[in-house]
């Protein structure tokens, strides 16, 4: 979804005062929008580290951090299998992701390539864990 469509969705949301179901689908659209942006920032950080452009990497890390901060308000109610989502674990996963991004911002400030790559790798593991484990089933109740 592009930004125009997203803004339109936000506008129609504000004007139309929609049903509960419409609010749920609006939330899910916003969630996917933020996730798509976070993915783009992830890649920009990766490219920034590779090219020694730490300013660019840090800007993207700042934005990714802010966007992660929006996710708790958009948390889905169910896992992919339709069972109720474990909200506590979901929120913990967001929280630890943000903590790691904060550490990454430090490493980028210090232009520490090795540490930055390590932390980016840790962040990637958290993306994968939430998508493949936490969201998949109610049985995925391990640590975030």
Binding interface with ligand HEC (CB under 6 A): 31-32, 35-36, 38-39, 42, 76, 90, 93-94, 97, 123, 126-127, 130-131, 134-135
- Which backbone phi and psi does 42 adopt, to 5 degrees? -55, -45
- Identify any residues that bridge with 84 across adjacent strands, giving them in sequence order: 78
Q: How far is the CB of 53 from ligand HEC (least distance, A)?
A: 19
Minimum CB distance to ligand HEC, residue 55 (Å) = 20
Pick between residue 17 and residue 27 the one whose CB is nearest to ligand HEC.
27
- Rounded to a whole number of angstroms, the minimum distance from the CB of residue 15 to ligand HEC is 24
Distance CA 138, CA 115 (A): 34
Shorter beta-carbon distance to ligand HEC: residue 57 or 123? 123
* Residue 48 burial (C-beta neighbours within 10 Å; 0-12, 13-18, 19+): buried
Report the C-alpha gap between 70 and 80 in whole angstroms.
Answer: 21
Instruction: CB nearer to ligand HEC: give 54 or 61.
Output: 61
Nearer to ligand HEC, 110 or 132 (CB): 132
Q: Least CB distance from residue 135 to ligand HEC, whole Å? A: 5
| Buried residues in 88-107 as b, exposed as e (16+ CB within 10 A) | ebbeebbebbbebbebbbeb
């Amino acid at each position: 979804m592009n930004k125009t469509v997203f803004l339109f969705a936000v506008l129609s949301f504000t004007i139309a005062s929609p049903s509960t179901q419409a609010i749920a689908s609006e939330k899910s659209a916003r969630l996917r929008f933020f996730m798509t942006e976070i993915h783009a920032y992830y890649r920009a950080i990766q490219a920034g580290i590779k090219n020694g452009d730490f300013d660019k990497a840090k800007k993207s890390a700042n934005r990714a951090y802010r966007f992660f901060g929006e996710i708790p308000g958009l948390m889905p109610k169910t896992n992919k299998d339709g069972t109720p989502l474990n909200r506590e674990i979901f929120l913990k996963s967001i929280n630890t992701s943000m903590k790691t991004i904060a550490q990454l911002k430090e490493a980028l400030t210090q232009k520490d390539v090795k540490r930055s790559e390590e932390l980016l790798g840790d962040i990637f593991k958290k993306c994968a864990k939430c998508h493949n484990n936490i969201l998949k089933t109610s049985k995925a109740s391990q640590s975030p």
